[in-house]
């Protein structure tokens, strides 16, 4: 009996330690209230800007990304953080990663480290940097899918996970404390892939992202779920993907936390993710955001971005109004 009680007590202490770490790592979100995301993706830019994508064209785009202009837009609006996609389905990434290229082959990682350059521009303006990355392989790149041993579906994917965590660790160690948060998309099969007792699992996944910065906040996205929820005690804030922010629901929260992690919602201001004209009035955006703020939560709004990295004026105007409503400086 004594050993059993001792074991339970130790487990409780461990859970409390994880919960407290989550609160500490993501508390800046509660304080900052809101941020901005952009998807800067090769296949999306091919579609919107009618490009013929190849590595030379991708490097041209990344080399031409104006980090100072973007940072100016965000500073004027009053955003507390900025999140950008490292890559997604096409296999093109906006920073070098030798580990990825050893596994997959050279060709689709940009030569410029856009994340480091973004950090330099944002940091001097007091804006934090977060990054987006899918939890799976770039599924439109058959070479990468095969090399990384990825199977799309409810599979353990242990070989893939081991490789993908090495790729994440490479970037995490490269950037260190330049990256304040990681938002991982597509964690659709948590029981099959991430909840095993032995690694690879949620714990090792989060550890890879924190390899360069133990204080980096991590979120795992299960997809669109209108009720804000946490996937694991090894994350620090809720991914909170919502396509209809008017439907978001938060239950059983306390002091900005949901089940021990920071409440957070991610939605988009355009007609769809990363594209289109504004779909909401400014009053709507403030109302949806305030619903989270009143609970101690935070919100990130995705907006389109021009090919040179600047934000379209119509969205800057809405974000500036949001910043005033949030009391941003």
The contacts found for 198-207 with CB under 8 angstroms, 24 or more apart, are 200/158, 200/161, 200/162, 200/165, 202/231, 202/232, 202/234, 202/235, 203/234, 204/161, 204/165, 205/135, 205/161, 205/165, 205/168, 205/234, 206/234, 206/235
Which comes out higher in pLDDT, residue 145 or 11? 145
Measured CA to CA in angstroms, residue 225 lies from 74, 88, 188, 228, 298 at distances of 28, 21, 11, 7, 16
Paired tokens of 211: 């390899």
Average pLDDT value over all residues in the chain: 93
**pLDDT value at residue 16:** 43
Rounded mean pLDDT, 93-122: 96
Query: Structural domain of residue 49, as residue ranges?
Result: 2-326
Residue 68 — very low, low, confident or very high, per pLDDT cuts 50/70/90?
Answer: very high
- Give the three-class secondary structure for 217: strand
Give pLDDT tens digits for 138-173. 999 999 999 999 999 999 999 999 999 999 999 999
Give the mean model confidence (pLDDT) for residues 298-327: 97
φ, ψ at 10 (rounded to 5°): -65, -40
What is the distance between the alpha carbons of residues 88 and 123, in angstroms, rounded to a whole number?
A: 25
Split at pLDDT 50, 70, 90, the class of 10 is: very low
194-215 pLDDT, tens digit each: 999 999 999 999 999 999 999 9
What is the reported pLDDT for 66?
A: 98
| 6-10, 98-102, 237-241, 249-253, range with the lowest pLDDT | 6-10
- Give CA–CA dist 302/268, Å, rounded: 4
What confidence score (pLDDT) does residue 106 get?
A: 79
Asked if residue 20 has pLDDT above 70, the reply is: no
Q: For the chain, how many structural domains are there in total?
A: 1
Residue 196 confidence (pLDDT): 97
CATH number where 20 lies: 3.20.20.80
First to last CA, the chain: 57
Both tokens of 243, joined, read 């396509």
DSSP label at residue 252: S
H/E element holding 237? Answer: none
Instruction: Name which of 247, 276, 94, 239 is nearest 174 in CA terms.
Output: 94
Q: How confident is the model at residue 328 (pLDDT cuts 50, 70, 90)?
A: low
């Amino acid at each position: 009996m004594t050993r059993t009680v001792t074991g339970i007590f130790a487990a409780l202490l461990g859970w409390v330690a994880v919960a407290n770490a989550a609160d500490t790592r993501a508390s800046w979100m509660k304080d900052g209230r809101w941020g901005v995301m952009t998807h800067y993706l090769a296949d999306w830019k091919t579609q919107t800007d009618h490009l013929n994508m190849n590595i030379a064209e991708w490097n041209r785009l990344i080399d031409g990304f104006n980090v100072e202009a973007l940072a100016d837009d965000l500073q004027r609006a009053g955003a507390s953080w900025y999140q950008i996609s490292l890559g997604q389905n096409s296999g093109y990434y906006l920073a070098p990663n030798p580990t990825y290229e050893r596994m997959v082959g050279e060709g689709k990682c940009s030569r410029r480290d856009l994340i480091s350059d973004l950090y330099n521009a944002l940091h001097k303006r007091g804006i934090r940097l977060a990054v987006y990355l899918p939890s799976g392989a770039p599924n439109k790149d058959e070479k990468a899918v095969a090399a990384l041993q990825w199977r799309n579906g409810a599979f353990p994917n242990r070989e893939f996970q081991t490789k993908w965590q090495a790729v994440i660790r490479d970037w995490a160690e490269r950037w260190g404390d330049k990256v304040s948060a990681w938002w991982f998309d597509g964690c659709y099969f948590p029981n099959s892939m991430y909840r095993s007792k032995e690694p690879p699992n949620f714990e090792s996944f989060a550890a890879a992202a924190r390899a360069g910065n133990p204080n980096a906040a991590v979120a795992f996205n299960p997809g669109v779920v209108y009720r804000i929820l946490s996937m694991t005690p090894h994350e620090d804030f809720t991914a909170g993907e919502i396509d209809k922010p008017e439907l978001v629901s938060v239950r059983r929260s306390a002091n900005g936390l949901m089940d021990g992690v920071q409440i957070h919602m991610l939605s988009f201001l355009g007609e769809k993710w990363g594209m289109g004209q504004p779909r909401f009035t400014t009053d709507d955006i403030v109302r949806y955001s305030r619903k989270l703020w009143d609970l101690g939560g935070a919100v990130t709004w995705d907006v389109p971005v021009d090919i040179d990295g600047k934000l379209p004026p119509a969205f800057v105007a809405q974000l500036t109004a949001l910043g005033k409503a949030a009391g941003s400086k």
